Amino acid sequence: MINDMLEHFSVSESMQLIYSAIMKACARYLAGGITRNHAANTVITICKNYTTRAVNEGWTVKGFERDYDIEISTAESYFYTNILRIGEDGFRCSPGMMSDKLYDKLFLKEKTDDTQPE
């Protein structure tokens, strides 16, 4: 389910879809329609349905914004900045939609004047 989300949506947009699914499951539980365990189990189904509908119906999903008062983890910073070399795009862009851009950055070296034969 997460892989499907990230194929089409950024991490922040996926977080929004998950948050919305949790809120919907909680609302059903609080309305008395389902048990607590059933509410927890429906979150995955709701996420899948939201993802499918968002893709098929062309939804614009507003992503979560990063809380800049909280420092990002060293691992996240190193991964996005040094390994993938995409910085903040790691949070804002879909990994699936960035696959070509990531491939180019990771595996293709740009020729510089220093590497040109004389």
Per-residue pLDDT of 85-106, as tens digits, reads 777 777 777 766 666 666 566 6
Q: What does the pLDDT read at residue 66?
A: 72
pLDDT top residue among 62 and 118: 62
Residue 45: band (very low, low, confident or very high) from pLDDT cuts 50, 70, 90: very high
Q: What does the pLDDT read at residue 111?
A: 45
Query: Residue 11 pLDDT > 70, yes or no?
Result: yes
Q: What does the pLDDT read at residue 98?
A: 66
Check: CB of residue 48 under 8 Å from CB of residue 14.
no
